[in-house]
Amino acid sequence: MAISGRARELRSEGRDVISFGAGEPDFPTPEHIVAAAARAAHDPANHKYSANQGLPPVRAAIAAYTKDFSGIDVDPTQVVVTNGAKQAVFQSFAALVDEGDEVLLPSPYWVTYPAGIELAGGKAVTIPTTPESGFKVSVDELEAARSDRTVALVFVSPSNPTGAVYDADEAREIGEWARDNQIWVIADEIYQRLVYDGSDVAASIVSSTSRFENWIVVNGVAKSFAMTGWRVGWMIGPEDIMAAAARLQSHATSNVANICQQAALAALRGPQETVDEMREAFDSRRKLMYEMIGDIPGVSCVEPLGAFYVFPDVREILTDEVPTTARLGEALIEEAGVAVVPGESFGAPGFIRLSYALGEPDIERGITRIGEMIASL
């Protein structure tokens, strides 16, 4: 967000800035969803407080959607509708983590995870992954990091920032390890429908693992339906954990805005073709960006198979004048007019994150500028 804010400042000064920073689709919310929200705004029933845990029809729709795309049978009583997936992440940690507890966090990671763990009084135990492993963690690495204070694992597939996707067998192996060691899994599935390996959806660690009880699934409408600003997410899990999360939410925010919930209902129950169209556009952009980055001398990149990010390795091109990716990011935006997110933000110095949630002409211009600047270092 800070990178995107700086890009807006420079644009207001008349600079031509191409931003690869924002983690949100550049598509408008589909019209049938907007129309549903407009109708809801005129219904007085939506002008009042509603159930803290979410409108019953929305919770039922989320349960059905989870069955369809995650393969998990859940009851609407196991669903809490939240103000975006970020609130669901925060409440998951608050419900599970006590002072001094440890949460296993493979890195690179989305910036909110360690903050949420710390706010709950816990300690994030980071487990570095590498390009050689496809930025995926192994059971052996998890076992080496486990201690008697380990209570949970954050499992994200597809990944922000790397675009890594675990297949069903990999997810099952990790899920069975967590089950056997009585470790909770917080599965963030917000990008589950943005995959490009021939599948329509990423494998869920929960549905891949038999007799699995200690899990929370986090999801929302933000990414798949181009609804980042509507702020509707959800968390799903055992009823006692969901009740604890709902009590916390009752004191923090109460119910999610009813009109936004009605928009989410239209997204979940309505036509799904717009998701497929958006995924096809992202796939084309992904291929273009990955190919162009691969042509920059000194820069390497693991092909992302999900979400809408690439995560190039720029360690080879760092210099005494530009010793970190944080400094490289500053130079790129100020001198080349290109905004990227430094890997330090994700626990991965030496890498940068670029979003391909923008048009192909801008991708071509932006990557060309990056290549030219790197050549000048």
pLDDT tens digits, 274-297 = 999 999 999 999 999 999 999 999
pLDDT digits (tens, 9 = 90+) for 218-249: 999 999 999 999 999 999 999 999 999 999 99
Instruction: Report the C-alpha gap between 134 and 294 in whole angstroms.
Output: 16
Q: What single-letter DSSP state applies at residue 306? A: B
Q: How do residues 55-104 score in pLDDT, each as one tens digit?
A: 999 999 999 999 999 999 999 999 999 999 999 999 999 999 999 999 99
Q: Domains plus CATH for the chain?
A: 2-29+274-376 (3.90.1150.10), 47-269 (3.40.640.10)
Q: Is the pLDDT of residue 304 over 90?
A: yes
| Alpha helix ranges (H) inside the chain | 2-12, 31-41, 56-70, 84-96, 112-119, 139-145, 168-180, 205-208, 239-252, 258-269, 273-294, 325-331, 360-376
- Cβ atoms < 10 Å from Cβ of 291: 12
Kindly report the pTM of this predicted structure: 0.95
DSSP secondary structure letters along 245-277:
HHHHHHHHT-SPPHHHHHHHHHHHHS--HHHHH
